[in-house]
Structure 1
Amino acid sequence: MTSSAPPRSRREWLAPAGLIALSLVPMIAGASRLTQLSTGAAVTAENARFFDSPLPVIAHIVGSSVYLLLGALQFAPSLRRRRWHRIVGRVLVPAGLVSALSGMWMAVAYDLPAHSGLALMLMRLVLGTVMAAGIVLAFVAILRRDVPTHSAWMTRAYAIGLGAGTQVFTLAPWVALAGPPDELANTVLMGLGWAINLAVAEVVIRRRARRSRRRTRTPQPRTAPAGTHLS
C-alpha cells in the first residue's frame, strides 16, 4: 500500500500552483504575441508597434515568462531549503531585470495602446523601477546573508511582475458588465491589480516575520554532554 503525502507537504504546493496558474494568463498572451511576430501575422493598429520594434517585446515576454514560472516555485518551503533555490535565484535575477527594464522601455518608446494614457505610463515606470530596485536590493541582501530582507524584496518584486495576471481579473468583470473601459477606468483597474498583489505580498512578508520571531523565542532542546548516552 502506498501512503499518501502528508497534508503539510501538499499544502506547501498550493501557493506555487496558484501562482503558476495566474502566470499562465500573461504567458499565453506572450506566446500568442511571439507567434504573431514569428509567422508574419497581419499588421494592425493594435500590434504595429511590436512589428516596428520587436526586440524589446520579445525580451519582455521571455524574461517575464522565466521569472514568473521559476519565481512561483521559490515559494515552496521545501525548495527554499535546498541548493535548487540558490541555483534558480541566479536565473531569476537577470530574468526579472530584463522583464522590468524592457517593460519600462516599452512604456516610454512604444506608442500608447488604446485606453492608455500618461497616468498609466507613469504607473508602469514607477512600478518597473520598484521591481528592478527590489531585485537589486534582494541580491545585495543575500550577499550579506540577510535572508529576511532578501525574501521580502524578492516577494515584492514578484508581486509587481505578476501584475498582468491579476489585472485580467480586475478588468474582466468591467468588460463583461460595461464593455471596454475608458482611459480612466483602465488606469484604475490596472492599478488595482498591482495594488492587490502588493497587499498580498506584504501579508506574506509579515507572516514570515512572525514565524521567524516565534522560532527565535522557542527554547532549543539542551544537548547531552559529550560521552553521555540518552535512553
Structure 2
Amino acid sequence: MSVTRARAQSGAIWLVPVGLILLVSIPITTGSLRITQLFGGPAIMPEATRFTDFPVPVVVHIVGGVVFGMLGAFQFIPSLRRGRGSWHRMAGRVLIPAGFAVALSALWMATATELPPGDGPALLVIRWAFGTYMVVALVLAVRALMQRRYVAHGAWMTRAYALGVAAGTQAFALIPGSIIYGSADETSRAVAMTAGWLINLAVAELVIWRRTHRPRITIG
C-alpha cells in the first residue's frame, strides 16, 4: 500500500470517533437536561417521579454514560493504542469503571423504579437481558486484560461499548413506532429498543471481524 493511501486511511479513521460522538450527543443532551432538572433547573423535560424519587442512580447512569460514550469513541483509533503509556491504557482506567456504572445503574433503575408509559413487562426483561450482557462483557474484558489476551479484551470492550451507547441508535429506531402507534405503545417501543441494541451489536461484531482480518499495511 502506498504512503498516500495509508495516510488517507489514517485520516478516515478519525471519522469514527466523530460519528460516535455525534451519536452519543443525543443521550448526552437529554441526560444533561434531566440532571439540570433534578438539581432545581427549569423543567424542560416532562417530570418523572421514577427519577426524582431516586436521583442518585440516574445521575450515576448519565455521568457514567457521558464518560463511557465520549472516551470510548477514541479507543477505536489504532495510533492511540500504541505504547505502554498510550491514551488507550490511560483512558481504559476510567472507561471500564464508567461502563460498570452505566450497566449496573441501568439494571437498578429497571428493577427498583416504576415502569414509565410504554415500558411493559416485555421491555423490562429485554432491558435486563442486554444490561446483564453488558456487565458480562465488561467482566470478560477485564479478565482477558489480566490474562494479557488483548485481542479478546478489545472484542469484549467493543461489545460493551456498543451496548452502552445504544441509546443514540434507539432514539432513531423509536421514531417510526412513535409516529404510527404513539410513544406509549408497549409493543412498538419494545421492538424499537431491541432493534437499537441489536443494530449496535451487529456493527460491533463487524468491527471485531474486520479487526481480526485486517491486512497488514506495507510502505512502498
From 94, 99, 102, the counterpart of 2:102: 99
The number of residue pairs the alignment matches comes to 210
| Residues in 2 aligned to 1:181 and 1:37: alpha-carbon distance in whole angstroms | 23
| Residues in 2 aligned to 1:181 and 1:195: alpha-carbon distance in whole angstroms | 22
Helix, strand or coil at the partner of 2:38:
helix
Aligned residue number for residue 54 of structure 1: 55
The one-letter code of the counterpart of 1:140 is: R
Question: What value does the CA root-mean-square deviation take over the aligned residues?
Answer: 2.1
Please list, as runs of the form range in 1=range in 2, the aligned pairs for 1:1-231 lying within 5 A after superposition. 6-39=7-40, 46-82=47-83, 83-180=86-183, 182-211=185-214, 214-215=215-216
2:166–2:196 Cα contact (<8 Å) kept? yes
Unaligned runs of 5+ in 2: 1-5
Residue identity (%):
51
How much does 1:178 deviate?
Answer: 4.8
2:65–2:99 Cα contact (<8 Å) kept? yes
The one-letter code of the counterpart of 1:156 is: R
- Of 8-17 and 156-165, more deviation after overlay is shown by 8-17
The one-letter code of the counterpart of 1:116 is: D
Q: Per-residue displacement from partner, 1:180-216 (whole Å, max 9, x unpaired)?
A: 35100100011001010001111111111112xx54x
Could you state the TM-score of these two structures normalised by the residue count of structure 1?
0.85
1:171–1:189 Cα contact (<8 Å) kept? yes
1:174–1:181 Cα contact (<8 Å) kept? no
Q: Return the index of the structure with the highest Cα Rg.
A: 1
How much does 1:6 deviate?
Answer: 3.6
How much does 1:177 deviate?
Answer: 4.7
Aligned residue number for residue 229 of structure 1: none
1:138–1:150 Cα contact (<8 Å) kept? yes
1:156–1:201 Cα contact (<8 Å) kept? yes
The one-letter code of the counterpart of 2:165 is: L
How much does 1:179 deviate?
Answer: 3.7
Which runs of 4 or more aligned residues in structure 1 lie more than 3 Å from their structure 2 counterparts after TM superposition? 176-179
How much does 1:8 deviate?
Answer: 2.2
- Of 45-54 and 56-65, more deviation after overlay is shown by 45-54
How much does 1:113 deviate?
Answer: 0.5
The one-letter code of the counterpart of 1:54 is: P
Helix, strand or coil at the partner of 1:74:
helix
1:46–1:113 Cα contact (<8 Å) kept? no
Q: Per-residue displacement from partner, 1:143-200 (whole Å, max 9, x unpaired)?
A: 2111110011000000101110000111123334554351001000110010100011
Q: 1:68 to 1:45 in 2, by over 3 A?
A: closer
RCO higher in structure (CA 8 A, sep ≥6): 2
Q: 1:118 to 1:178 in 2, by over 3 A?
A: closer
| Residues in 1 aligned to 2:100 and 2:202: alpha-carbon distance in whole angstroms | 22
1:167–1:193 Cα contact (<8 Å) kept? yes
How much does 1:46 deviate?
Answer: 4.7
